[in-house]
Homo-oligomer: A and B are copies of this chain.
């Protein structure tokens, strides 16, 4: 079985916790900073991905305008983080993500269920995303 050592595994899991809590709490600059300088982020299939930290930040600010008057709290629940070292030294990471949305006084809505496809670069001190592409289960073709 291919796997990564426990130290790298732990660092990636902790990286995700910090990164996604930053995103869900609206700290978009911090989220953009979890990518490499030339990082690529595609959160909506069929659209052009955002490129570079500045580009990712701009995209997030634009995307979140629609929530300006909507007091929704989003939470990204991750599970089943699969890490696969690649020949070029990067790590491919494939993760399940369930988005939970709560509005004041209401029960949460849960959608969509996604698969997050990351390419990670890690050295002795840092973990960063080189790219992230998100696949949505509800946008998959039928049989």
Contact = CB atoms under 8 A, between A and B. Distances in A.
Interface string A59-96: 00000000011110101111111110000000000101
A3 B127 CA distance: 11
Contacts of A27: none
Interface stretch (A35-43, A47-55, A109-117): A109-117
A112 B75 CA distance: 12
A83 B61 CA distance: 27
Specify which of A1, A15, A140 lies most central, judged by the most chain B CB atoms within 10 Å of its CB: A1
Contacts of A100: 98, 110, 113, 137
Given A15-B1, A80-B21, A111-B108, A143 B71 contact: yes
A109 B107 CA distance: 10
Interface residues of A, number: 57
Nearest to A138: B102
B83 A14 contact: yes
Interface of A: 1, 3-7, 9-11, 13-18, 20-21, 68-71, 73, 75-83, 94, 96, 98, 100, 102-113, 125-127, 137-143
